[in-house]
């Protein structure tokens, strides 16, 4: 910390002395830096894939003489516990022996700052005190792959190596040639549990201390530990023993002839005495029995080895550490294999057929690791005590598996806050799994923008057989069931919407009556997780507890319960999604207010103990019907408890948990899930005391959730796909790992990288909405960053969530306030608190002070402080040449490992303007040899070969996992000239100019080069699942046409980031820097920027100027459409009508223009999405305020002021063109008048009430614009019409949010057609005849106003909807009503009350006919005073009068 606070360029230099790891294969030495003792060490280089437990691993005697490579890249996070702390037996409390046994330690990244309540010292100090060298800065993944392919290698770790070293044989030493067991075994006989009666004699061949604790603490035995060479037959100490235990240990079992001799003696005793062996003990027992052992290529070392019990077929996750194995084929008569490894099928245990002898290769006592097989100790002690052993049999379920012919899948409906695109991903995976089993799939989902509702299907991308675009209501689902007669229904893949429907249909008995089986977790188990009272009772049954929590059914009961718990309390609605209707109450008044709101959404509320400040953690758990149970991913919230997990930064795997904490919570998760009877996938959330091992369970989600999608993408384990297979009765063992293709799905992924999820909010779109975060979710989307350092993923995520940011910055972010005290900005969780924290660290605040205010773990804060100190060092120097004058390559690499972008470095060193500065930094970086490498997400930390295209880029490494493209990158020199058009013209003209053979050759080359498709990025208001549908459609068409497809996206909720969808998936940021990295590396034929929304579209110009080949419409033409001034000029030149407009250089000019054309006027910034900062100004004051806001959003792009036309009809024109000629188009009609953003409007297709003349004029204008901009690909034009007078509003040269709506309504995929056009392939327009369409489709917006306290639920020119639905009907009225119901709108019951409040007299007259209709239909109509008086006086309506709420109300 002192070094960091000192600042200066030293903070850019790698810490520690130079160190080399030499390998006996003769390869170049691996270079890194020392963080341990300044000494050398020889040994066998092996790897361990565990993500926690380094204190336990380093003191494991089985690692004697080995140089240990830890595959997890972040080591040292939680320090080292007190080595002097002893347990009741005088053994070290937290360690497996009295010393470090490894010869040396190799890691990727070392955390110089640690944080944990039990930490006593840093890992580096512990190593130095014990004389053990350590090296960091190593590409441990590359080293692991080398060991995997070549076998365990001899190595020599040298600190401060000589300048030139030639490899000689004396540099290496094989520890397996030593009797390692003799080095680690006890030298005397020791007794533990002297007073206990059952006597076990244990051979210490390197026994871990947790074995002693397990025997004595858990089983109350008298354990006599003897040296490995103790002569059992002679028994010089006259030890009385009832059973024999053979411990783990290092090295070759054949080096222990004395132990083998004694085991042979024990085997021959009559009557036999029970024998149990672990690890080396398994090999020793096998040799004593007459079998053979052999050395494994690289051994099994880690915490996630799946082992199958050959008695039952059950699979268990086991920790292992061994380099030798038993040859099962050599086992003599009466000996059988007991366990086998589910991955490599090696022997994992043996058993005698009629005597109580058995052993296993793994560690049931597990320290570190899981305790899933601890029952083997029970079995052994049972044999010793001669208690009857339970009969162990297969459950037979695999023979009873039911087959299903037709399944109904219930979707989630429109996207809303708390329920977003993750359910499109899970539903799509579910459909894929069902179709693989030959099952007919019926889907109900009115979300027309989703991939799962696509009707096109083929063998590669199977879709649902029939899709019902209908409201997800119980009676509608039952109508479908009566029509389709499915065998089963899946309600766990559609969020809370589907779950609630399933629960209601089950409770009313309708599903049972129809003979439809709920697949997966049964409804009673779901209810147990949803009802807090039942849930609490269930947990009590197994000795677990939730935080103090009580239900209440009215406000009085809520007050009583809150006082029983003690304020402050958390108020939540039961059966609610995303914490809807929840918040913290500090007293009775606040409680009553919150309770009233919560009861508006649920008939039961929950009052919970306030645990703010505790750590929040999640585990994703999978269980099959055979009771195989695994945890796929654990996640830790950056923010302490009190912020909804959907609004918190989340890190996977957890970074600050010890082995004990990690596996304590894992053990509880498995116990809870088994007790509840969940089958499939679920999520369990914990609160963990940051100062102890005390924890409580927050909740269990017995369905696929947002966290499930995140965990799937974070690990590469397809949870929804696997959960679907399990719903059908399959077991985990029989399902293959879809990444490695060779290993089982019954495993727990090992990550050799770090993942960070950051939420995306759009709170600034809503006036009067507080940006404070709490227990009710507010975010509209999220991003996921992958890297090998925490600093890297944090900075990546900042750029992903907000493309305007260059990284994590406080002072330069524009997201902190100069008016609010910094401590106040940090103490309250908000959507900008992260940047306030960073600002404080940049200004020199200490980690302790920031922690006191935020309760964010100090380890996380120390990483943010690293970023701040490196930023400050560069800025204080201010010159790139000076920054790199000393240790240039090392400093540049340090900056890139810490996640700094080229733009950041350029900004800090005054290389302006930034785009040119970033290009200069890029050139310098390349000249220094500092380039990112490509790594795979393979689920098993490189332990097994992986056939995966799931990739990310990082600077923490020097070797790629996949090969580069075979072609040199296309450098579009024309694109470097700003005046030229970087388009596909040259490509198409070359194609036309050569012979047919030449054409084919060029096409083949482009197919092999591949096409980079830029995805949609984070979901936000204005860019949602519809752009993911566009990207997926483009990628599927590319693959269909034989093109290698390369997708770039960072949104974990999307289908496009499913690695099955493309040939290569880069889960990466869509910055200019990273897209160029990928483009150049792949040698791609071009980049598609027009299917992912505004973010990739804005990259068209910078990419073209950097030499990238943009496919489709030229970058310069895109700019002409996006730049409001250029586009308006073009329309004027073409004589196309548009509202009066002007680009203004000052607010005074804007006021003058507005006075001339007349208010209201519209303020429109350029290059923005969803009408960001677009406002209608009714007077001069509003205009001046809105111009300031627009200028902030538009940056240096033009802001245009236009006349706002009242009462006009808005019309959508979606089209596909090639070479400026329209191929297909669709005209959609807005129900609302112009002035409501198109994303918030109700759209009807085909248009119903447009004049023929209007349609002709729109087609004419559309064709003219397409020609003028030479459009190739998708485009969208928005028009307004008053009578037959048509005016152009704007044109987007990209896919719009209505493309999936148009494509599915007309049964013509516009994106597929556009993709072929952009790739220069022959295109044939679809034959679309509106006369043949005998139906109508209405798209309705989905809003989340109920989640945004203080939001004004009125619509305007800036978009506020979070999703959309669409339904079909014979006429627009039926389709509109169905769509409205699909958004969750509740029709008033007949005889109910309707409240009218209409401010404008014109609108009151317009609504008069409808008001009369409501009265005639039997509704009681009540109006606010002015409205009621108007209808009573003018229409003699019998209308009641209500009063508006006062401030007090």
CA–CA dist 758, 62 (Å, integer): 40
Let me know: does 1307 contact 455? Beta carbons within 8 Å.
Answer: yes
Tell me the chain's radius of gyration from C-alpha atoms: 34
Let me know: does 376 contact 364? Beta carbons within 8 Å.
Answer: yes
> Does residue 365 carry a catalytic annotation?
yes
With H, G, I as helix, E, B as strand and everything else as coil, classify residue 588.
helix
CA–CA dist 485, 471 (Å, integer): 19
| Cα–Cα–Cα angle for 108, 110, 116, rounded to 5 degrees | 135
Of 322, 363, 1109, 1230, which is the active-site residue? 363
**What tokens were used for 770?**
């507080």
Of 113, 348, 365, 1210, which is the active-site residue? 365
How far, CA to CA in Å, does 906 sit from each of 605, 879, 924?
A: 53, 9, 11
Give me the half-sphere count of Cα atoms (radius 13 Å) on the Cβ side of residue 124: 18
Ramachandran sector of residue 1431 (left: φ over 0; alpha: ψ -120 to 50; beta: rest)? alpha
**What tokens were used for 841?**
């660290």
CA–CA dist 1027, 1065 (Å, integer): 17
- The dihedral through the CA atoms of 1082, 1088, 1094, 1099 has a sign that is positive
**What tokens were used for 697?**
């369970």
Of 256, 279, 315, 629, which is the active-site residue? 279
Which segments within 746-903 are labelled E, that is strand? 754-760, 781-787
Tokens 């080995």, residue?
Answer: 66
**What tokens were used for 401?**
């598996």
Q: What is the dihedral of CA 955, 957, 960, 964, to 10 degrees?
A: 30
> Does residue 363 carry a catalytic annotation?
yes
CA–CA dist 1398, 1408 (Å, integer): 11
CA–CA dist 525, 538 (Å, integer): 10
How far, CA to CA in Å, does 156 sit from each of 24, 67, 962, 1279, 1420?
A: 8, 8, 28, 72, 88
Spatial CB neighbours of 41, under 8 Å, sequence gap ≥ 6: 67, 103, 104, 132, 133, 156, 157
Let me know: does 807 contact 795? Beta carbons within 8 Å.
Answer: yes
**What tokens were used for 753?**
């990288």
**What tokens were used for 505?**
């249909």
Which DSSP category does 640 fall into?
P
CA–CA dist 1168, 468 (Å, integer): 34
CA–CA dist 1420, 1442 (Å, integer): 12
**What tokens were used for 915?**
């785009």
CA–CA dist 346, 298 (Å, integer): 13
With H, G, I as helix, E, B as strand and everything else as coil, classify residue 1078.
helix
- Separation of CA 515 from chain center: 37
Nearest to 693 by CA among 713, 663, 728, 718: 663
Nearest to 1002 by CA among 1035, 979, 970, 975: 970
CA–CA dist 704, 699 (Å, integer): 14
Instruction: For residue 913, say if its preceding peptide bond is cis, omega within 30 degrees of 0.
Output: yes
Neighbours of 1409 (CB within 10 A): 10
Let me know: does 241 contact 224? Beta carbons within 8 Å.
Answer: yes
Spatial CB neighbours of 515, under 8 Å, sequence gap ≥ 6: none
Q: Which positions are catalytic?
A: 279, 363, 365
């Amino acid at each position: 910390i002192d070094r960091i606070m000192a600042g200066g360029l030293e903070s850019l230099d790698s810490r520690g002395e130079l160190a080399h790891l030499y390998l006996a294969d003769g390869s170049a030495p691996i270079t890194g830096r020392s963080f341990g003792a300044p000494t050398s060490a020889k040994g066998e280089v092996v790897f361990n894939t565990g993500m926690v437990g380094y204190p336990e691993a380093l003191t494991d005697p089985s690692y004697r003489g080995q140089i240990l490579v830890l595959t997890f890249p972040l080591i040292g996070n939680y320090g080292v516990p007190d080595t002097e702390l002893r347990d009741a037996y005088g053994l070290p409390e937290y360690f497996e022996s009295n010393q470090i046994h490894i010869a040396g330690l190799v890691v990727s990244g070392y955390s110089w700052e640690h944080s944990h309540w039990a930490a006593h010292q840093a890992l580096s100090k512990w190593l130095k005190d014990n004389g053990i060298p350590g090296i960091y800065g190593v590409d441990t993944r590359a080293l692991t792959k080398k060991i995997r392919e070549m076998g365990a290698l001899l190595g020599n770790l040298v600190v401060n190596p000589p300048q030139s070293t030639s490899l000689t044989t004396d540099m290496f030493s094989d520890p397996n040639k030593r009797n390692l067991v003799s080095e680690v075994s006890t030298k005397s006989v020791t007794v533990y549990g002297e007073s206990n009666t059952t006597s076990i004699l244990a051979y210490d061949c390197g026994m871990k201390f947790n074995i002693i604790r397990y025997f004595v603490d858990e089983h109350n035995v008298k354990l006599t530990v003897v040296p490995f060479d103790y002569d059992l037959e002679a028994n010089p100490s006259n030890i009385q023993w009832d059973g024999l235990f053979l411990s783990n240990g290092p090295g070759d079992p054949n080096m222990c002839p004395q132990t083998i001799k004694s085991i042979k003696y024990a085997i021959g005793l009559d009557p036999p005495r029970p024998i149990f062996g672990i690890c080396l003990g398994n090999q020793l027992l096998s040799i004593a029995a007459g079998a053979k052992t052999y050395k494994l290529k690289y051994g099994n070392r880690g915490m996630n080895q799946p082992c199958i019990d050959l008695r039952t077929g059950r699979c268990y996750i086991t920790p292992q550490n061994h380099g030798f194995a038993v040859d099962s084929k050599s086992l003599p008569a009466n000996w059988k294999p007991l366990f086998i490894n589910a991955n490599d099928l090696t022997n994992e245990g043996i058993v005698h057929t009629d005597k109580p002898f058995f052993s296993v290769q793994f560690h049931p006592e597990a320290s570190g690791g899981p305790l899933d097989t601890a029952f083997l100790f029970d079995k052994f002690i049972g044999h010793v005590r001669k208690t009857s052993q339970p009969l162990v049999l297969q459950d037979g379920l695999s023979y009873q598996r039911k087959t299903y012919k037709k399944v109904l899948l219930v979707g989630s409906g429109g996207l809303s806050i708390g329920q977003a695109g993750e359910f499109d991903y899970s539903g799509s995976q579910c459909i894929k799994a069902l179709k693989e089993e030959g099952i007919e799939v019926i889907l109900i989902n009115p979300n027309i923008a989703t991939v799962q509702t696509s009707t096109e299907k083929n063998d590669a991308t199977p879709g649902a057989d029939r899709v019902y675009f209908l409201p997800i209501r119980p009676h509608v689902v039952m109508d479908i069931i009566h029509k389709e007669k499915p065998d089963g229904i899946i309600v766990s893949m559609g969020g809370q919407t589907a779950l609630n429907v399933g629960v209601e249909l089950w409770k009313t008995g309708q599903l049972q009556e129809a003979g439809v089986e709920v697949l997966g977790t049964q409804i009673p188990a779901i209810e147990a997780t949803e009802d807090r009272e039942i849930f609490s009772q269930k947990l009590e049954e197994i000795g677990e507890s939730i935080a103090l929590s009580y239900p209440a059914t009215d406000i009085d009961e809520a007050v009583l319960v809150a006082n029983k718990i003690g304020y402050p309390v958390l108020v939540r609605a039961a059966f609610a999604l995303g914490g809807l209707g929840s918040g913290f109450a500090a007293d009775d008044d606040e409680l009553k207010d919150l309770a009233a709101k919560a009861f508006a959404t649920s008939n039961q509320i929950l009052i919970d103990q306030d645990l703010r400040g505790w750590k929040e953690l999640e585990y994703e758990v999978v269980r099959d019907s055979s009771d195989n149970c695994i945890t796929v991913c654990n996640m830790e919230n950056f923010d302490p408890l009190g912020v909804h997990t959907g609004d918190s930064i989340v890190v996977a795997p957890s970074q600050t948990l010890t082995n004990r904490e990690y596996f304590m919570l894992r053990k509880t998760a498995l116990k809870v899930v088994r007790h509840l009877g969940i089958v499939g996938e679920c999520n369990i959330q914990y609160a963990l005391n940051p100062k102890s091992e005390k924890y409580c369970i927050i909740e269990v989600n017995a369905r696929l959730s947002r966290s499930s999608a995140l965990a799937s993408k974070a690990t590469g384990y397809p949870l929804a796909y696997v959960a679907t297979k399990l719903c059908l009765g399959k077991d985990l063992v029989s399902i293959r790992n879809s990444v490695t293709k060779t290993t089982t799905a019954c495993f727990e992924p090992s990550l050799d990288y770090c993942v960070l999820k950051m939420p995306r909010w759009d709170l600034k779109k809503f006036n009067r909405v507080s940006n404070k975060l709490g227990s009710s979710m507010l975010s509209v989307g999220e991003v996921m960053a992958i890297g090998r350092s925490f600093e890297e993923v944090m900075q990546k995520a900042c750029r992903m969530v907000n493309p305007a940011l260059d990284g994590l910055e406080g002072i330069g972010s524009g997201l902190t306030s100069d008016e609010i005290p910094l401590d106040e900005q940090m103490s309250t969780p908000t959507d900008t608190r992260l940047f306030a924290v960073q600002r404080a660290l940049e200004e020199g605040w200490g980690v302790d002070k920031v922690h006191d205010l935020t309760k964010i773990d100090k380890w996380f804060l120390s990483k943010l402080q690293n970023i701040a100190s490196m930023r400050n060092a560069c800025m204080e120097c201010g010159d790139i040449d000076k920054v790199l004058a000393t240790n240039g390559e090392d400093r540049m690499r340090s900056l890139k490992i810490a996640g700094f972008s080229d733009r950041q470095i350029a900004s800090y060193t005054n290389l302006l303007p930034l785009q040119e500065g970033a290009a200069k930094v890029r050139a310098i970086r390349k000249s220094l040899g500092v380039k990112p490498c490509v790594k795979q997400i393979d689920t098993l930390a490189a332990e097994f070969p992986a056939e995966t295209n799931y990739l990310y880029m990082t600077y923490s490494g020097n070797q790629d996992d996949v090969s580069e493209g075979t072609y040199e990158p296309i450098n579009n020199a024309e694109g470097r000239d700003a005046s030229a058009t970087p388009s596909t013209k040259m490509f198409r003209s070359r194609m036309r100019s050569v012979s047919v053979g030449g054409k084919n050759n060029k096409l083949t080359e482009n197919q092999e080069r591949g096409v980079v498709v830029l995805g949609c990025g984070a979901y936000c208001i204005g860019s949602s699942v519809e752009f993911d549908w566009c990207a997926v459609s483009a990628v599927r068409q590319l693959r269909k046409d034989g093109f290698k497809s390369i997708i770039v996206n960072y949104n974990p909720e999307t289908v496009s980031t499913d690695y099955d969808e493309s040939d290569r998936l880069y889960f990466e940021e869509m910055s200019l820097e990273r897209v160029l990295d990928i483009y150049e590396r792949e040698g791609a034929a071009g980049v598609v920027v027009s299917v992912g929304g505004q973010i990739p579209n804005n990259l068209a110009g910078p990419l073209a100027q950097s030499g990238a080949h943009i496919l489709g419409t030229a970058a310069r033409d895109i700019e002409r459409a996006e730049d409001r001034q250029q586009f308006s000029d073009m329309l004027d030149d073409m004589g196309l009508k548009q509202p009066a407009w002007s680009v203004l250089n000052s607010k005074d000019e804007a006021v003058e223009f507005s006075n001339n054309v007349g208010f209201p006027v519209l303020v429109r910034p350029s290059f923005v999405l969803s009408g960001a900062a677009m406002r209608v100004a009714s007077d001069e004051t509003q205009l001046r305020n809105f111009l300031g806001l627009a200028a902030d959003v538009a940056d240096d792009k033009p802001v245009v002021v236009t006349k706002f036309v009242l009462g006009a009809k808005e019309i959508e024109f979606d089209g596909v063109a090639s070479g400026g000629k329209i191929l297909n188009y669709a005209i959609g009609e807005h129900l609302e008048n112009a002035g409501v953003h198109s994303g918030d409007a109700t759209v009807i297709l085909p248009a119903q009430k447009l004049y023929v003349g209007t349609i002709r004029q729109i087609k004419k204008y559309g064709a003219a614009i397409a020609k003028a901009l030479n459009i190739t690909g998708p485009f969208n034009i928005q028009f307004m019409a008053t009578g037959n007078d048509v005016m152009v509003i704007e044109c987007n040269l990209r896919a719009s949010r209505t493309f999936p709506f148009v494509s599915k309504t007309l049964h013509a995929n516009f994106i597929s057609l556009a993709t072929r056009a952009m790739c220069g392939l022959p295109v044939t327009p679809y034959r679309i005849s509106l006369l043949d369409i005998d139906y109508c489709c209405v798209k309705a917006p989905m809003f989340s106003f109920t989640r945004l306290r203080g939001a004004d639920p009125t619509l305007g020119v800036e978009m506020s909807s979070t999703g959309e639905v669409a339904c079909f009907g014979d006429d627009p009225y039926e389709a509109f009503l169905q769509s409205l119901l699909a958004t969750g709108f509740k029709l008033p019951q007949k005889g109910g009350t309707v409240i009218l409040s209409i401010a404008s007299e014109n609108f009151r007259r317009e609504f008069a006919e409808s008001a009369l209709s409501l009265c005639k239909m039997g509704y009681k109509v009540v109006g606010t005073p002015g409205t009621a008086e108007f209808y009573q006086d003018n229409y003699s309506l019998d209308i009641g009068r209500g009063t508006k709420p006062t401030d007090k109300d």
